[in-house]
Every structure is written in structure tokens, then in C-alpha cells.
Chain A
Amino acid sequence: MTLSYVPDDSIAHRLDPRSKLLVQVGFAAAAYAYTTPRGLAVLTLLAVVCLRLAGGGPRDLWTYRFAFPVLLVAPLVAGATLGAPWFRIDRAATTGLASYRVLLILVVAAGYVRSTPVRDSRAAIQHTLPGKPGQFLGTGVALVFRFLPLLKRDLLTAREAVRARGGGALPVRERMRLVAVAGINRAFGRADRLGTALNARCFAWNPTLPRLALGSADYPALAIGGGLVAAAVASVV
């Protein structure tokens, strides 16, 4: 399963993408400002609420499974020492909390991606950041969100092709090498084909963007997002 926009009528789907972006930014700032267990507990509750309001659930987090090993290994590596006492729990705990806050940010991001079409994200960015910088960023977001799902599907196809011809019995290292080589080749081909498709449909820097309008439901979201940003700033000052 690839994390992508899912049409729905959830509360998050009805929010203006700018409100959702502010909540995301605020959440990320707060997660880095409040690293205590209590702070992260509050943020955990908020992250789950964000995902649920977007109609998402644990299945959406499966997309991040490739990040989980890194997040899990990081505290072990941080805690390990070359001599006695061989493992320092305080360092591992600090890094563990850092890993956990990254996970929380990913949860909130999943809610955003699930509830926001690519073109709405592009519109939000270009409305927030006018002029060429906004167009550049908006185009970048549009391309990345279109390219990544295709690339991921190509990698999965390469892995299935390896398995279909008995490659499942090969050592992990060899399987990784085969999928990586095939994946890189396919990524270049995919980039070419996506570029051609976008050209054929007159991909533009300044397309007609969706109308954005803040509704009554956006004000609580804006308040939460603004509050998170303010809380993060207050903790630093």
C-alpha cells in the first residue's frame, strides 16, 4: 500500500490545505521543543487525533515500515559505548525520544497526505508563498508527490519479478542488489516517461489552481496550529 490521497468526506478533507500545513508545521516545531515524556504523550494524542480526523488508521502507517528499523536502531547505536559500561541508558533514552517524535511527525504527515490532493498542496504553497519561489516549491511538491508513488510501485514490481523467478531463495544482500539495480534503471525510465506525459499535457508553472477558501472548520485548526507554533517559540525564548 502506498500512502496517497484518498477521496473521503472526513473533517480533514474539508479543511483548507493551508490550515493543515500550519498544523503540520506547528506540530513539528512543538515535537522538537517538548521532548519530555509528558510533552510527547500529549503530542501522541494529538497525532492520533489528526490521523483519525483524516479517516486514517494504523494501515496508513504501514507505508513507513521501512523507516521503523532506522528509528528503532538509532537508540541502540546511541547508547552503545566502546568500553565500560558498554551501554548508556540515558543516551539511548534521549535518542529514543527523538526517534519517537520523528514517528509522531510521520503520523501527522500521513493524515495530511491522505486528506489533501496534490494540486491542493500546490495551491496552498503558491498562495502562501507568492511569486517565483512559490511556483518553484509548488511545482517541486507536485512532481515529488506524483513521482514517488510510481517509483515505489516500480520497486515493488522489480521485487516481485525477482521472487517470481526463484530469487526469493537468494541471500538478502543479493536480493537487495538486484532490486536496487533494477529500481535505479526503472527510476530513470520512469522519470523519462513521466516527463513525457507531463509535456504532452502542457505541464505549466502557472496552471489554474483550485480555489482555496477558509471555512468555519478551519479556524479551530488554525488556532491549534498557531498555538503549537507559539508554544514551540515560547519554550525556546
Chain B
Amino acid sequence: MIDVDGVTCRYGGRGGGDADGDGNADGDADGDRVTAVDDVTLSIPDGEFLIVAGANGSGKTTLVRTFNGLVEPDAGAVSVNGTPVSDDLVAARTAIGMVFQDPRDQLVAATVGADVAFGPENLGRSHAEIDRRVADALAAVNMTGREDDRIASLSGGERERVAIAGALAMEPDHLVLDEPFTGLDEPARRSVLDRLCELRAAGTGVIVVTHDLRDVFDLADRVVGLSAGRVAVDEAPREAAAKLPGLDVRVPEGAFDDQPADATDAPSDP
């Protein structure tokens, strides 16, 4: 369980921060300070498939990075399984696996096996336990037997899957994926999507950060939409669908099929 209580994140200095890495300052400028996340309160139960949606610079990456202490809030608190993140960073980072937007930022070893083992090694697990976790994580992303493959020789989709395996090897309660489908071709996108479905079925909570909900809309239990760092939408997908285009995010065609007539007057996809 992740509990986010009144979290606010600001970046100091001129120009503000860019935790999204998209070249834009996140959130709203406040003098020289930029507010990326503004008084957000959320509760994310174990096993939930959650979409954190929002346009570039809406603060979604900054928000999820507070879940495992990669970003420290200026105000408010985040707890994971009842323990404040700031009290036990290792526990938070073990419970919340994170896959970054660009897997190249995340892969730190020369071979697949060494990279997937990196997390469990840092946790000080035994060799037998590390071997088991590597085997399980690679099986979960359909890459069994590829421990000795060079990372440099992998395709974009395979790197994404190795990044997911690296996070899964920590055996997290929640897996956070930041724009997981960016730059993937159709087979790679389908492969990653299949893996997410299997993870969800296995009980792992999945949190997908995206501005394009078309791939994951039907899988999600809930959509949290951010606008200028604030929660603008927090509902089940079908209920949230009508409000999402107003956040400059892309929703799938047919998302409004269950909506009342007046709710479908929302702006079309950008």
C-alpha cells in the first residue's frame, strides 16, 4: 500500500526542474520556484493497476519518484506499507520497482543477467536467491536463457523488458513504469503489454505513467489525472474518460461509449 499525503514538490532556481526529462520545466512557476506536484493525496492499494496520466510537465514523473524516495517532497509525506519512505529508503525501493522512461538510463551492466542481478546483489541476498530471482524475472519478461546476451545488442523492446526484469528482480509490491511504450514498435509494445497483464494477474501492483492511455486504458482499475501538479481526475477509467481529454492526454476511441451524451462533448484527442 502506498499512501501519499499532501505531497508538494518544488524545484528551486531559475527555470525550474525537469524531472520528466522532457525538456520542459515541470508544473507551475512560482517566482523562481517551480511547483511540480501540488498538495497531492492518494492511496494506492496492493495489486491495483493504476494509470497516472497527464501532459508533459504535469508532474506525474515527479510524483511517482516520491514513492521510492528518488524525489523528496517539500511538504507532505509518502508511506509504503505503513513506513514513511524517508525512514527506510531501501524498503521503499524494494517495495516499489521503477522502470524509467528511457531504459538506457536504467541498465547498468554489460549483460542481461548481470543487469537483472544488480538489484538483488545490492540487497545482499545469497547467490542462490539471486540466481532464482534472475531466472524468475527473466521468465516473467519472456527472456529465459538470455543471461549472457549483451545489452548493447538488444532491440528497444528487449531493453524495455530487461529494465522491467531488473525491477521485478527486487520482487516489488508495485511496479512503476514511466512512459513504457515510448519508442516501441508494435511487437515490442504488445510484448510489454502482455507482460504487464501477467504481472497484474500475479498480484503485482502496476502503475503506468503516461500521456497516452490507449494501450492501458482497458487494463486499469483507476486513472489519476494530473494537471499542473494537482489531481484533476481520480476515478475508474470509464468514469474518468470524459475528463481526460481536457488534461491533454490521449484516450482510446470508444472510451466514451459508456458515457452519457453530454459527457462526450469533451474536446477531441489532441
Residues of A within 8 A of B (CB): 2, 4-7, 117-119, 146, 150, 193-194, 196-204, 206-209, 211
B47 at the interface (CB under 8 A from A): no
Contact of A209 among B98, B121, B148 (CB under 8 A): B121
Contact A194 B105 (CB under 8 A): yes
Contact A198 B111 (CB under 8 A): no
**Interface digits, B131-173 against A, CB 8 Å rule (1 contact, 0 not)?**
0000000000000000011101000000000000010001000
Contact A201 B166 (CB under 8 A): yes
Contact of B119 among A146, A196, A201 (CB under 8 A): A201
Question: How distant is the Cα of A194 from the Cα of B90 in the complex, in angstroms?
Answer: 18
Question: How distant is the Cα of A196 from the Cα of B123 in the complex, in angstroms?
Answer: 17
Contact A4 B110 (CB under 8 A): yes
A residues less than 8 Å from B170 (CB atoms): 201-202
B residues less than 8 Å from A194 (CB atoms): 105, 108
Contact of A211 among B70, B105, B127 (CB under 8 A): B127
A residues less than 8 Å from B68 (CB atoms): 200
- Which 5 residue pairs spanning A and B have beta carbons closest together? A207-B121, A204-B122, A5-B110, A7-B148, A202-B122
B residues less than 8 Å from A118 (CB atoms): 109-110, 114
- Closest-by-CB residue of A relative to B149 is A7
- Say how far A229's CB is from chain B's closest CB, in angstroms: 29
**Interface digits, B50-86 against A, CB 8 Å rule (1 contact, 0 not)?**
0000000000000000001110000000000000000
B106 at the interface (CB under 8 A from A): yes
Contact of A202 among B21, B94, B105, B152 (CB under 8 A): B94
B124 at the interface (CB under 8 A from A): yes
Contact B106 A7 (CB under 8 A): no
Contact of A146 among B98, B108, B149, B152 (CB under 8 A): B108
Contact A117 B111 (CB under 8 A): yes
Contact B70 A199 (CB under 8 A): yes
Question: How distant is the Cα of A6 from the Cα of B126 in the complex, in angstroms?
Answer: 26
14 residue pairs of the A-B complex, CB under 8 angstroms, read A5-B111, A117-B110, A117-B111, A117-B114, A118-B109, A119-B109, A146-B109, A150-B104, A193-B21, A196-B105, A199-B69, A200-B68, A207-B121, A207-B123
A residues less than 8 Å from B207 (CB atoms): none
- Closest-by-CB residue of A relative to B18 is A189
B100 at the interface (CB under 8 A from A): yes
Contact A193 B105 (CB under 8 A): yes
B residues less than 8 Å from A4 (CB atoms): 110, 152
B190 at the interface (CB under 8 A from A): no
Contact A208 B110 (CB under 8 A): no
Most buried by A among B100, B108, B126: B108
A residues less than 8 Å from B127 (CB atoms): 208, 211
Given contacts A204-B122, A208-B123, 9 further A-B contacts (CB under 8 A): A4-B152, A7-B150, A196-B105, A199-B70, A200-B98, A201-B166, A202-B119, A207-B123, A207-B124
Contact A197 B106 (CB under 8 A): yes
B87-118 contacts to A (CB < 8 Å): 90, 93-94, 98, 100, 104-106, 108-111, 114, 118
Most buried by B among A199, A203, A208: A208
- Say how far A196's CB is from chain B's closest CB, in angstroms: 6
Also in contact, A197 and B121, with CB within 8 A (given A4-B110, A117-B114, A202-B93): no
